[in-house]
Homo-oligomer: A and B are copies of this chain.
Amino acid sequence: MAESAHGPRERMVFSAAQLIRRDGVTATGMRDVAAHATAPRGSLQHYFPGGKEQLVNEAVDWAGRYAGKRVARFLAGPATPTPSGLFAAMVRQWTDEYGTEGFAAGCPVAAATVDCAESVPSTREAAATAFATWTGPVARALTDMGVPSERAEPLATLMISALEGAILIARAEQDVRALTTVTRELGPLLDAAVEAEGEEGGGPQARGPRTRTR
C-alpha cells in the first residue's frame, strides 16, 4: 500500500478509496480527500472536473484492479496454488489488516454499492465493473487449478460473496471470527471442485490440483 512517490492525482484516488472504505461515500468530503492526500484543494477540480462522482468512480475502479492484482500476486507466489489456498490468501489480507490496524475500514466497493447503487448510476456501474475485474482473475485461477470451466465463475462469485459478507460481520463484531469461519467452511468445498485426474466421479475430497495449464 505504498502511497508516496506517486503523482498527486493518483494519491487523491488512493486517498478517496481509503476514506470511502472507512466512512462511506457520503461521509467522505472532497476537502478530506485532498487533505488526506496532502494535495492542494484546487487540484480536485483540475484533475476531476466531473466532481465527486468521477473521483469516487475512479477510486472504485482502482479498488477493483487492486483486488485483481492481489490474485495474480498469489498465483505468482511460491506455493502450489489450490482453490482453498487462494481463498485463504484473499481472506488473510483482511485478517492481517484487522490484526495490525484495527477494524476501521471495509471494502470500498461495498461502500460504494451501499451508498450509491440507487442514487448514482455511474458509480453503481463502476462497482459492478470492479466486482467483474475481481471475479475474472479468480475464476481464471480456478480453472487453471483444474476446476471445470462451468463451475469456475460461480465459485468465484461465491468466494467473493462470502468474503464481502464476512468483512461486514467482522467489522460489526470487531472480531475476525467470521473471516476465519468462512475460510474453514468453504475451503473443502472449493478444493472438491477440482477435477480428479484419474477417477471419473471426482469425490469431494479429491486431492491435488491439476498442474497449471499456462
A contact set with B: CB distance below 8 Å: 22-27, 103-106, 109-111, 113-115, 117-119, 124, 127-128, 130-131, 154-155, 157-158, 160-166, 168-169, 171-174, 177-178, 181-182, 184-186, 189, 192, 204
Contacts and interface: CB of A to CB of B under 8 A. Distances in A.
Contacts of A109: 168, 172
B26 A24 contact: yes
Among A103, A160, A164: residue with most chain B CB under 10 A: A164
Nearest to A121: B174
A115 B118 contact: no
Most chain B CB atoms below 10 A, which of A117, A154, A164, A204: A117
B181 A131 contact: no
Contact of A182 (B105, B161, B177, B204): B161
B165 A163 contact: yes
Q: How many copies are assembled?
A: 2
B24 A172 contact: no
Contact of A105 (B118, B124, B130, B165): B118
Contacts of A27: 26, 115, 119
Contacts of A174: 124, 128
Given A27-B115, A114-B115, A158-B162, A131 B22 contact: no
Contacts of A185: 154-155, 157-158, 189
A211 to B, nearest CB: 25
Contacts of A26: 24, 26-27, 115
A204 B174 CA distance: 33
